[in-house]
A and B are shown apart, each in its own frame.
Chain A
Amino acid sequence: MKVIKSSRLLLVAALAVGVLSACGSNGNNSSNGSASPDGSPSPSSSASSSPSASASEPTKKPESVELLNVSYDPTRELYVAFNKSFADYWKKETGQTVKINQSHGGSGAQSRKVLDGLEADVVTLALAYDIDALAEKGLLKTDWQKSFESNSSPYTSTIVFLVRKGNPKGIKDWNDLIKDGVQVITPNPKTSGGARWNYLAAWGYASKQDGGDEAKTKEFMKKLFNNVPVLDSGARGATTTFVERKIGDVLLAWENEAYLAKKEYGDDFEIVTPSLSILAEPPVAVVDKVVDKKGTREVAEAYLKYLYTPEGQEIAAQNFYRPRLQEVADKYKDQFPQLNLLTIDQDFGGWKEAQQKHFADGGTFDEIYTKGS
């Protein structure tokens, strides 16, 4: 019996070690992410500030801080460049080292992860609805879009067509997409933000063409999605399918994504600007609940504000996002052709309505898609 008891103890100990080590790594994670959980940046709570630090003035800030930026698919390259620039800027301003972690995926999917507990300090998603969903659950205030200038969208973009070299199918505008034998690549509007912009741009075009006859518009959309052979879950997957796997004749893509693909693959592709597209405003927001818990509000807000500075705008423009700041916009105006743009608020009654009508369960997308196949 004694044997059993001691052995039981041993096992419990082993189990406890296992659990502890699991929790230990958890603890590491969160203490990396935030200097002190309750937001009081007392120097003692920060992990062993090394005495060898050159700037030894008694600032109240912990020596280093980590941010998590949960973003959508095509911003990968943008934020690699931007994070570096911001880290330099922040170091210079405050002496604090900031490490920014990135997570990318379909915009809707990313929003869902934040809801499930992914502790994003800032979200930089493809469309306002995905941040509204977070606000609905109380992760941030409902009027978050007023926190920063220009509807909290530091850069804009639009939807263009990427076609193969020489444009063999002669694709010029949206109505060329529904022709027989044209294969269109777009991601899934249910999970991808870019795909929702694609969908609305196409819808807007058809609706103008048909004089607002919704039955006809649905017919148009049905034909369009009949021409879609692959429906990836995010914009980047769709680009890969088109560019690397050589499937399809035309990719409906973010302007920045199209330029990036052209940059990576040189002359294999051409960009076609349709007669009408949509003004895409990818918004940014600080996740109140997370930054208040982690005590990272100051740096998180500075991070997003930096997007609006000339430096930030320059980086956005270099990565093919349309800058808001006039001086930067002027500098890059040859890069971005002027075109007629629908807006979500004027032409679709805002995201809430658009989401409800088109992308919710039983919305127009479900209608045209399931029936169409």
Chain B
Amino acid sequence: MAANRKRKSALPGFRFTMGFTVLYLSLIVLIPLAGLVVKTAGLTLPQFWDTVTSQRVLASYRVSLLTAFFAALVNVAFGLIVAWVLVRYRFPGKKIVDGLVDIPFALPTAVAGIALTSIYAPNGWIGKLLDPLGIKVAYTPLGITVALIFIGVPFVVRTVQPVLQELENEMEESAALLGAYRWRTFRKVLLPELVPPLITGFALAFARGIGEYGSVVFISGNMPLKTEITPLLIITKLEQYEYSQATAIALVLLLISFALLLVINTLQRWTNRRLRSA
């Protein structure tokens, strides 16, 4: 991070702020994460491979990825509608709904976890209605998905909202003048603009969902191979003294997160550029 080609700035404080940033970043984030890598390096490559591809671990990736994927998908569909309604329509209580969108972000996950569990358990409000139909939510992958939908609500709404707001009326205007129907206008004119933020929102919700622990641990049955998410498996391994296995699985999860982060940042930069040039 050397400032090789520092622009000749009249402003002071580069060396100081930069030094502090890098120092603090290293102390709090990089060195601890490096510890993870070093600890995992204690395993030989075949050992590492066996650990991260054992049946139970693979099953946990599947549970984590699939539930996070479907939850993010649900959030894309409903998040788009919520954002659309918030930006374009007038209705009473709009400000409150807009505020509620951020609740999942501000509400501690443990609170969400116990609340969702008591709603969707077989004797809960919604669980009671679904149970006679043979639908079980709590303690199944469906329950995990429900928790992740809750966690992911703000992400799609908050990435789509500003883009929708910035969209110029002119394009829609001309489409309408040309006699295009609303639905066609939406599909041909609006949707292409909304795809990048939707993907970004999806990726954000997805990434958050993969790592989520607090809300999920209450509502998932924690059954190995069936409803055991990867973060929980890391804790389980840790509790069984399997440090190197825990760190190996954690490293895989970390790499997945990092890859997603790169995708998200690229997408966001791209979206921002389009927004600015629009």
Give A residues with C-beta under 8 Å from B.
3-4, 7-8, 11, 106, 108-109, 112, 115, 133, 188, 190-191, 228-233, 237, 241, 244-247, 361, 369-370, 373
Contact = CB atoms under 8 A, between A and B. Distances in A.
A112 B243 CA distance: 10
A20 B241 CA distance: 32
Interface stretch (B63-71, B95-103, B156-164, B216-224): B216-224
B222 A230 contact: yes
A106 B16 contact: no
Contact of B236 (A190, A228, A370, A373): A190
Interface in B1-52: 12-13, 15-16, 19-20
Given A230-B139, A245-B122, A108 B224 contact: no
Interface residues of B, number: 26
B226 interface: yes
B16 A4 contact: yes
Given A4-B15, A369-B224, A373-B225, A245 B238 contact: no
A47 B212 CA distance: 42
Contact of A247 (B56, B139, B241): B139
Contacts of A247: 122, 139, 221
Contact of B122 (A188, A228, A246): A246
A342 B211 CA distance: 43
Contacts of B122: 245-247
Could you tell me the dominant secondary structure of chain B's interface residues?
loop
B121 A112 contact: no
Given A11-B20, A133-B241, A247-B139, A4 B12 contact: yes
A373 B241 contact: no
B221 A230 contact: yes
Most chain B CB within 10 A, of A11, A245, A246, is at A245
A373 B226 CA distance: 9
Contact of B241 (A112, A241, A244): A112
B277 interface: no
A370 B226 CA distance: 11
Given A8-B16, A191-B240, A370-B55, 14 more contacts: A3-B13, A108-B239, A108-B241, A112-B239, A115-B241, A188-B236, A229-B221, A230-B222, A241-B139, A245-B117, A246-B123, A247-B139, A247-B221, A370-B225
A247 B16 CA distance: 59
A249 to B, nearest CB: 13
Nearest to A366: B56
Interface in B94-142: 117, 121-123, 138-139
Contact of B223 (A8, A230, A237): A230
